[in-house]
Amino acid sequence: MIKDIGALKVKEIKDVVTKEIDHMYVSKDIVNVEKLISILSEDGRSAVKALKVKCDKEITKLQNEIERVKKLYEFDINHNNGLIIAGVDEVGRGPLAGPIVGAAVVLDYSSLKANDLILGINDSKKIKESERERLFDQIIKECVDYKIVGIDNLTIDNNGISWCNNEIFKNAILGLNVKPEKVLCDGYCIKNFNVENEAVIKGDTKSAAIACASIIAKVYRDRMMKEYSEKYPEYDFHNNVGYGTQKHIEALREHGYTDIHRKSFIKNLLNL
């Protein structure tokens, strides 16, 4: 912490501010930054005043994020009725290539203190790739249990994407070691399944467990498609992860389909 602020250059103060803000987000404790704001208030330099404003904004940002994520956990708690609960989600319904991937997550709801929340969780599509990667590791480490499963393009062609979506939910839940007594599903109830489950529309923005499932399923599938990109570089899987971008469609028309393409999805494009 700064002792004699007047003796420091603005750059040195800025370095201290950056370090303390970074630590605040790790510790989820605002005390040190509040103390820093008090010290910064003693300096009349405009650049230092701007750093004080930055600290204030970052404290508010962290507090708002804690409250937002707490609501996601509270949503789950309010729907579990004392039962062991899991959230399940999928990614990959719409791509022209690759599998559909589902994930199920069981979280610990015993404490809603800031340090026990996984901050940043949300609909995976709303999160930057680098942040999804970081959250993937944190979720895997801190959740009670998780399971990631996939269904390949051939099965999608043979059985249809709706059947596969239902099956992926079932397989993810059945693969958990901690058996849930109730499941929150993103968008769809699980059919022909003997575990109580509830569909939550836009569940990855409402439920902590569904949001976590959305993130780990998304990261897992994206990594898989980037590996396929090395085998099939013409199709730009590294960037489109199998979705029907213009570059992907042009590659299909020029080179034809690969063994990971969903023929049922591209038959009109290639007159199959």
Backbone phi, psi, residue 261, to 5°: -80, 150
Host H or E run for residue 132 = helix 129-142
Are 118 and 208 in the same domain?
Answer: yes
Are 106 and 57 in the same domain?
Answer: no
Q: What is the CATH number of the domain that holds 158?
A: 3.30.420.10
Query: pLDDT tens, 105-114?
Result: 999 999 999 9
Length of the chain counted residue by residue: 272
Q: Which residues contribute to the annotated binding site for a divalent metal cation?
A: 89-90, 186
Domain extent at residue 138: 81-219
Question: Considering only CA atoms, which of 94, 105, 91 is closest in space to residue 147?
Answer: 105
Query: Which distant-in-sequence residues (6+ apart) come within 8 Å of 255 by Cβ?
Result: 234, 235
Are 20 and 54 in the same domain?
Answer: yes
pLDDT for 123: 92
Instruction: State yes or no: pLDDT of 264 exceeds 80.
Output: yes
Domain end residue (candidates: 17, 47, 71):
71
Question: Domain count of the chain?
Answer: 2
Q: What counts of helices (H) and strands (E) characterise the chain? A: 10, 5
Rg, C-alpha atoms of the chain? 23
Q: Which residues contribute to the annotated binding site?
A: 89-90, 186
Task: With respect to residue 64, please indicate whether it lies within any of the assigned structural domains.
Answer: yes
Are 43 and 87 in the same domain?
Answer: no
Task: With respect to residue 225, please indicate whether it lies within any of the assigned structural domains.
Answer: no
Are 104 and 147 in the same domain?
Answer: yes
> Which residue stretches of 2-120 are H helix?
10-27, 31-40, 46-80
pLDDT for 4: 78
More confident residue, 169 or 3: 169
Q: Name the band, by pLDDT with cuts 50, 70 and 90, for residue 272.
A: low
Domain end residue (candidates: 25, 41, 71):
71
Are 146 and 33 in the same domain?
Answer: no
Query: pLDDT tens, 145-194?
Result: 999 999 999 999 999 999 999 999 999 999 999 999 999 999 989 999 99
Are 87 and 207 in the same domain?
Answer: yes
Are 132 and 215 in the same domain?
Answer: yes
| pLDDT, mean of residues 205-226 | 97
The order of strands in the sheet holding 145-151 is 145-151, 100-106, 85-91, 182-186, 196-200
pLDDT for 8: 87
pLDDT for 63: 96
Q: Which two tokens stand for residue 121?
A: 């969780």
Q: Name the band, by pLDDT with cuts 50, 70 and 90, for residue 1.
A: low
pLDDT for 80: 84
pLDDT for 185: 96
Are 156 and 190 in the same domain?
Answer: yes
Are 185 and 65 in the same domain?
Answer: no
Query: pLDDT tens, 189-199?
Result: 999 999 999 99
